[in-house]
Amino acid sequence: MNIVVLAGGISTERDVSLVTGTMIYKALKQKGHQLVLLDVYMGYEGNAADVFSMERDWSENFGSISEQNPDINAVKAMRKGNPECAVGPNVIPICQQADIVFLALHGRNGEDGKIQAMFDLLDIKYTGTDYLSSAIAMDKAIAKEIFGQFKIPTPKGIVVSKTERHMADVWNIYPCIAKVNCGGSSVGVYIAHDSKELAGALEQAFALEDTVIIEQYIDGREFSVGVIDGKALPIIEIAPKTGFYDYKNKYQAGSAVETCPAELDANVARAMQACAETVFRALRLKTYARMDFRMDGNYNFYCLEANTLPGMTPTSLLPQEAAVVGMDFPALCQKIIDISLEKYRV
């Protein structure tokens, strides 16, 4: 098959996406496919015709993940032409040549449904869920409303806009989390232990987005559950060596201890997996996703969010969960392609 792996972009998760894309590109090469790896923002300056017949390693100089999220203004300064256009040169013509586009994007203009909607209009096949469920899952405030309707346990919280930040004055549950509404990879997530710290957290979060969620901090253990084609994978537990599971601890090797399958009572494990599958259905997700949970000392677990394009870096969670059921990384990538193509056969 001719496959484009689409990564990069201009979200705060750009670096994570580039490494995810590189891993997927190399894995699918092992499966014998013809691959092109593209940064959706930087595009390709060469001749877009017959790119799949070119003999080149598209993964050269695709970068690594630093301890800090990238400087997007510096990225924009690197591109010729209109820096505000989210799609780089020749991205669309190359994607139109592919049998399917493997979306390795994260965050804004990738995980929020915009690319998916554009591809639907252009009749370009892609991996993962559709534009509507992507947009719903990306908007944490809307997702939390749906969780409530489906009786999915989630931390208590309120939504605060930049223009009405005084609404935060009613909040009195500490410690708490302040997080941007449409972020990911723990960028724009802050812990506050009192009202003074909350004010500072809101200031930082509003520098990134105009809408912020304040929610109770669940003191306890952190878990993640991948769901592929509606069926939950084994649960993985994440225990940061210091602090909480922030951007650094997620992507710097050795920063967290990850245990899969998680050491949980069998009944608790089954209930959490069932909850992850309910989230998958409630948000109308397709193909695959990953749900994040926290559990308190009384074995009450709470769903934090759903990730519609979970990371596939050397330290990512979904590949570790799949490995437990005998699915290595190339097989996982192929599985995602196979079930993604099924949605076009309906």
Q: Please report the pLDDT score of residue 266 as a whole number.
A: 97
Mean pLDDT of the 148-174 span: 93
DSSP state of 52: G
DSSP state of 327: -
Query: pTM (2 decimals)?
Result: 0.89
User: Is residue 320 pLDDT above 80, yes or no?
Assistant: yes
Mean pLDDT of the 77-94 span: 89
Angle at 317 between CA 306 and CA 225, to 5 degrees: 45
- What CATH code would you report for 221-342? 3.30.470.20
Q: Per-domain residue ranges for the chain?
A: 2-126, 156-216, 221-342
Burial of 219 from C-beta contacts in 10 A (0-12 / 13-18 / 19+): exposed
User: What pLDDT, in 10s, does the model give residues 220-277?
Assistant: 999 999 999 999 999 999 998 765 544 444 445 567 899 999 999 999 999 999 999 9
Residue 236 contacts by C-beta under 8 Å, 6 or more apart in sequence? 223, 224, 225, 258, 259, 260, 261, 262, 317, 320, 321
- What CATH code would you report for 156-216? 3.30.1490.20
Confidence category of residue 219, pLDDT binned at 50, 70, 90? very high
Mean pLDDT of the 16-36 span: 94
pLDDT mean across residues, the chain: 91
Q: Please report the pLDDT score of residue 131 as a whole number.
A: 96
Burial of 310 from C-beta contacts in 10 A (0-12 / 13-18 / 19+): buried
User: What pLDDT, in 10s, does the model give residues 38-59?
Assistant: 999 999 998 999 899 888 899 9
> Are both 156-216 and 221-342 of the same fold?
no
Number of H helices, E strands in the chain: 11, 13
Amino acid 153 reads P
Q: Please report the pLDDT score of residue 67 as a whole number.
A: 57
Please name the CATH architecture into which domain 2-126 falls.
3-Layer(aba) Sandwich (3.40)
Q: Please report the pLDDT score of residue 248 as a whole number.
A: 46
